[in-house]
Amino acid sequence: MSTPPIRNARAASLPAKLSRTWLLVNAVKPQLFEPAQRSEADSVIFDMEAAVPDEAKDEARDNVVRALSELDPDSGEPQMTAWVRINDVKSKYWEDDLAALNGLPGLRGLMLPNTEAPEQVTWTAMRGGAGVPVLALIETAIGVENATEIARAPGTFRLALGTNDLRKDTGMSDDPLALAYVRSRLVIASRVGGLPGAIDGPSGLGATDQQLRDDCAWTIKMGMAGKLTLSPSFTATINEALAPSEDEQRWARELLLDAEEGAEITDGSYLPRLARARKIQELASSYGLWNA
């Protein structure tokens, strides 16, 4: 009998361009892989970089290769699927990471840390395997300054914000107002580059549910469409907060129903409002909320 894949079926079927939660999992702790796969995280990232000391890099890489290579003997489908946060282009591990991951059946894409130039994404995409998408993680002032060019680079799939390293690089506080410019830059760059919405940085591991909701409110205010997380316990709250609310869905239903019944165009804002209602319907349907 075929063994079903470990990955959460709802999350596995969701296109990564719509992923709200991006769960980072320490690659040196393979015991965390399966719980992450079964979690409600829209996308899972096995982290071989920030969470792994130099002496454990080879071990972490071996863990990831093993996990993403295992196939169901009957269906031939990978038992686990995940994105992988590799080491940055300037590190001595970058080439070995890409050589080991190239062609793995469970690999969904790569996260490139400390992205500072468009060619870094393109090199990574070329060496990572044909068609592999790259999440460009912006963590430095140089990366922020070059965000538009990075967004336009061949291979870039989405932009993500590494808030902790950015704060170390710039001296910024974690106040949302201090980081507003950076978030705006990534949002505008994503739009100019024709990418899905930018991904916000993670909340602290000790964040309360209310703090997490407040953080997500800023994510939405700034126009971002996803959020990194270090804890699977945060995924349900992030998923809810970054999906269309019940009030938004109610408004969209009413507007779409009026449109179906032949409502007249009363002013110049009608068609933009109708487009927004259809977008809300599309997103809510993708997240399993529209007909719930």
Residue 4: per-residue pLDDT: 62
- Mean pLDDT of the chain, nearest integer: 94
- % of the chain with per-residue pLDDT over 70: 98
> Strand, coil or helix: what is 178?
coil
Mean pLDDT computed over 218-223: 97
> Strand, coil or helix: what is 21?
strand
Residue 3: per-residue pLDDT: 56
Give the dihedral sign, CA 212/282/195/268.
negative
- Lowest-pLDDT range of 29-43, 102-116, 248-262: 248-262
- % of the chain with per-residue pLDDT over 90: 85
Residue 86: per-residue pLDDT: 98
The DSSP bridge partners found for residue 85 are: 47, 111
Query: At which residue do the structure tokens 């291979």 appear?
Result: 155
For the question of whether the overall pTM of this predicted structure is more than 0.85, the answer is: yes
Residue 259: per-residue pLDDT: 86
* pLDDT exceeds cutoff 60 at 2: no
Name the band, by pLDDT with cuts 50, 70 and 90, for residue 1: very low
Name the band, by pLDDT with cuts 50, 70 and 90, for residue 266: confident
Asked whether 242 and 219 are in contact (CB, 8 A), the reply is yes
Q: Which long-range contacts (CB under 8 A, 24 or more apart) does 172-177 make?
A: 176/218
List the end-to-end C-alpha distance of the chain, in Å, as a whole number: 32
Residue 286: per-residue pLDDT: 87
Name the band, by pLDDT with cuts 50, 70 and 90, for residue 267: confident
Mean pLDDT computed over 173-192: 97
pLDDT digits 0-9 by tens, 67-115: 999 998 888 899 999 999 999 999 999 999 999 999 999 999 999 999 9
